[in-house]
Amino acid sequence: MKCVVLYDSAPDVLTTAPLHFPAHKARLDDFHSRGVLLMVGTFANPVEEGSMAIFTTREAAEEFVKDDPFVVNGVVRSWTIREWNEILTP
């Protein structure tokens, strides 16, 4: 079981994201180096479609979102954590 965090971008994401990206990236790097963040990225149109991150546990996802500069500073308007059953195929 993995956990996916889905972010919905705020309307002004193109102007606010660059201001808070260095702190957001540092947090991403920290969680990735700890081995609890597996992947992260925006969808094709991040303004309308947002972004997604995959964590190893719900606890890690909740910890990340709680103090993420993008959440704290309104770069995203809302977020959701979903449990995801990863299935590998041969």
pLDDT of residue 23 exceeding 80, the answer is yes
pLDDT of residue 27 exceeding 70, the answer is yes
pLDDT, one tens digit per residue, over 32-79 is 999 999 999 999 999 999 999 999 999 999 999 999 999 999 999 999
Note the pLDDT of residue 4: 98
User: Considering just the CA atoms, what is the radius of gyration of the chain in Å?
Assistant: 13
pLDDT of residue 90 exceeding 80, the answer is no
Residue type, 39: M
Q: For 80, how many CA atoms within 13 A lie in the half-sphere containing its CB? A: 8
Q: Domain limits of the chain? A: 2-84
pLDDT of residue 13 exceeding 80, the answer is yes
Whole-number Å distance between alpha carbons of 30 and 19:
19
Note the pLDDT of residue 89: 67
In CATH, what number does 2-84 get? 3.30.70.1060
Note the pLDDT of residue 88: 80
